[in-house]
């Protein structure tokens, strides 16, 4: 587990850390920013990490086909992956 700071969110399940590393949340399927509900999902996850000033605990589990780290993210409020899935951003059979 590594402490990192989120620089910005690309959409509701992927973003970039301040060191330039691109990441994706494990088992979270949020809509893309241009799709219906995408902006809402992005704002929601950004507010979750914003509560801790972007500092998160990151546990990488794999790399995807685009070279991004895939992993589990949490902060002082708990798992961000679980909270996003609880709000409907679930891995729907993929």
In the chain, where are the structural domains located? 2-86
36: which 2 tokens? Answer: 């219906």
What pTM value is reported for the model? 0.89
CATH of domain 2-86: 2.40.50.90
Residue 32 is predicted with a pLDDT of 86
Q: What is the pLDDT along the chain (94 residues), one digit of tens a residue?
A: 899 999 999 999 999 999 999 999 999 998 888 899 888 999 999 999 998 899 999 999 999 999 999 999 999 999 999 999 998 877 665 4
Instruction: Tell me phi and psi for residue 82, to 5 degrees.
Output: -65, -40
Distance of CA 17 to the CA centre of its chain: 11
Spatial separation of the C-alpha atoms in residues 90 and 5, rounded to whole Å: 24
Q: How many CB atoms lie within 10 A of CB 15?
A: 22
């Amino acid at each position: 587990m590594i402490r990192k700071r989120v620089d910005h969110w690309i959409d509701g399940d992927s973003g970039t850390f301040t060191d330039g590393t691109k990441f994706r949340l494990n088992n979270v399927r949020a809509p893309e920013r241009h799709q219906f509900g995408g902006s809402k999902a992005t704002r929601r996850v950004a507010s979750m990490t914003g509560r801790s000033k972007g500092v998160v605990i990151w546990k990488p589990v794999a790399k995807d086909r685009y070279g991004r780290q895939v992993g589990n993210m949490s902060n002082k409020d708990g798992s961000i992956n679980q909270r996003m899935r609880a709000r409907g951003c679930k891995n729907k059979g993929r």
